Amino acid sequence: MSMVPKRIMKEVERLTKDPVPGISAEPQEGNIRYFSVLMDGPDSSPYEGGHFRLELFLPEEYPMSPPKVRFLTKMYHPNIDKLGRICLDILKDKWSPALQIRTVLLSIQALLSAPNPDDPLANDVAEHWKSDEKAAIQTAREWTQKHAK
């Protein structure tokens, strides 16, 4: 057995034994590289009270390359596009093999608390966020109510 599956097994074990608060990540039966993720919207964010579905996939090169993660639940967020792709440095050039699935999930949850309209993936949402943050946050709340309950 190569090192990668062993590492993945260790990470899965840790996620099961010591789950991240507000996040559950379970590998699909028959495919340890593909995870179904449920994430609670962080408190005092526009996503509070929402339950968001994501998919996480560990490519063959993992941990040398980052996991592929996307939201399946519709999001109104400047760093998440219509396809659910996430703009987050550790999923791109800031990835390090020292990071783990749980680190990635915690970073995504933190991104929900602190949107960054200056590094957008959804330009229209980022423009809305910059021009009228209050209205953008209200829209994010409405989408959470509508899509993440």
The residues that are catalytic are: 87
Per the listing, tokens 């519709």 go with: 74
* Secondary structure class of 68 (helix, strand, coil): strand
CA-to-CA distance for 107 and 109, rounded, in angstroms? 5
Helix H segments across the chain?
3-17, 101-113, 123-131, 133-147
Q: What angle do CA 76, 53, 16 make, to 5 degrees?
A: 140
CA-to-CA distance for 76 and 44, rounded, in angstroms? 16
